[in-house]
Amino acid sequence: MSDQVRPPVTGWRRWSAYLALTVVFAVTCGLLSWWQWARRAETAAENQRIERNYDAEPRPIDELLPRLDAWDDDDEWTRVELRGEYLVDEQLLVRNRVLGGQPGFEQLVPFLLDDGVVVVLDRGWLPLGNGEHALPDAVPAPPEGEVTVVARLRGAEPELPGRTAPEGQIPSIDVGSIVDELGIEGYTASYALVASEDPAVEPMPAQRPRPEEDEGLHISYALQWISFGVLAFVGLVWAYRREKRIAALPEEERAAARAPKRRHDDADAEDAVLDRLG
C-alpha cells in the first residue's frame, strides 16, 4: 500500500484576514473594558465626594469659591451657609426635570448675599400640574426678608443651543446666563441646592434624596469584555486546528467533515427505536 500524500493546509491569506479581524475585535473589547474601568473610577470618585461633603459642616461660600467663576468638582455637594434675601421677582422654572419617574420643574430663585453678590439657589422640585400649559399647580413662595440658607453646591449646567422655553422658564441651569440677565455680580460656575431655610416656610418644593453611593456593574462589564477578547482567539485557534485536521483527511471525506452535523429530531429517535425492535 503506497503512502498517500496529504494536501497541505492552504488559504493563508484567508487565515491572515481572520487573524486581523480577531485582533481588531480583541482590541475593541480591550478599549470597551478600559472604558468600563474608567467609568468605575469616576463613580468611585463621585461616591467619595458624596461621603466626604454631603453631611459635612457648612462652610462660607467665599472660602470654597474664591472667584465668582471658580469651580472645583471636588467641592460638589459641599454644604455652604448663606445670609441674604431671595429675589422673588426673578425666580425661574427649569423644564423637564424628573423625580421618582415623574416629570416636573426645578424652582430657581436668585439669592442676594449681604455682600451684594448673587447665588442661584435651587429650592426643589415641583410636579406638573393639571392646567392647560402643564405648569405646577402652585409655586411655593420663598421666605421674605433676611434669610439664612444652608445649601449644597453643584456645578453649573451647560447652555443647550437651540432649546427655547416660555417666559419664566429655562431649559437648563445655565448659571452664567441667569446672572447676566440679572445685571448683578454673581457666582457663574455653580449653583446650590437648598437644604434648609431659616425662617422655614411651608409648603416647600420636594427635595431630592441623597445620591446613591453605588459603583454599579462596571467591574463585571469590564471583565466580560476581556473574556470576549480572549474567547475570540480561542475560537480562531479551534477553527484553524479543525481546518488543519480536515485538510489531512482523504479528499472524499473532507466535504462530509466540513458539513454541519444535522440535529436529530423526534422522528429520527422513533426510527432508531423501531430499528432496534426489529
For residues 276 and 274, give the distance between their C-alpha atoms in angstroms, rounded to a whole number. 5
- The arithmetic mean of pLDDT across residues 76-97, rounded, is 94
pLDDT over threshold 60, residue 8: no
Q: How far is CA 185 from CA 7, 11, 149, 244, in A?
A: 85, 73, 19, 77
- What integer pLDDT is reported at residue 211 of this predicted model? 85
Among 22-31, 62-71, 121-130, 162-171, name the one with the lowest average pLDDT.
162-171
Residues 6+ apart with CB under 8 A from 32: 225
Measured from the Cβ of residue 13, the count of other Cβ atoms closer than 10 Å reads 8
Residues 6+ apart with CB under 8 A from 123: 107, 108, 109, 140, 142, 194, 204, 205
Name 166's bridge partners.
none
pTM value is 0.69
Q: How confident is the model at residue 2 (pLDDT cuts 50, 70, 90)?
A: very low
Q: Which residue has the higher pLDDT, 91 or 260?
A: 91
Residues 6+ apart with CB under 8 A from 68: 117, 185, 186, 187, 188, 189
Q: Which residue has the higher pLDDT, 136 or 166?
A: 136
- What integer pLDDT is reported at residue 9 of this predicted model? 47
- What integer pLDDT is reported at residue 161 of this predicted model? 80
Looking only at the bridges linking them, the beta strands covering 169-170 and 92-99 are parallel
pLDDT over threshold 70, residue 277: no
C-alpha cell at 164: 427655547
Burial, 106: exposed, middle or buried (Cβ in 10 Å; 0-12, 13-18, 19+)? buried
- What integer pLDDT is reported at residue 222 of this predicted model? 86
- What integer pLDDT is reported at residue 15 of this predicted model? 84
Q: Are 254 and 246 within 8 A, CB to CB?
A: yes
Model confidence over 216-259: pLDDT tens digits? 787 888 889 989 999 999 988 988 888 887 777 776 666 665 66
DSSP, res 89: G
Residues 6+ apart with CB under 8 A from 151: 79, 80, 82, 119, 121, 192, 193, 194, 195
Q: Which amino acid is at 52?
A: R
- What integer pLDDT is reported at residue 163 of this predicted model? 77
Nearest-10 crossing angle of helices 218-247, 12-53: 170
Q: How far is CA 171 from CA 119, 123, 166, 174, 196, in A?
A: 19, 17, 10, 8, 25
Helix (H) or strand (E) holding 255: helix 251-258
Model confidence over 104-161: pLDDT tens digits? 999 999 999 999 999 999 999 999 887 656 788 889 999 999 999 999 999 999 888 8
Angle at 114 between CA 143 and CA 50, to 5 degrees: 75
C-alpha cell at 66: 474664591
Q: Are 155 and 189 within 8 A, CB to CB?
A: yes
Q: Are 113 and 119 within 8 A, CB to CB?
A: yes
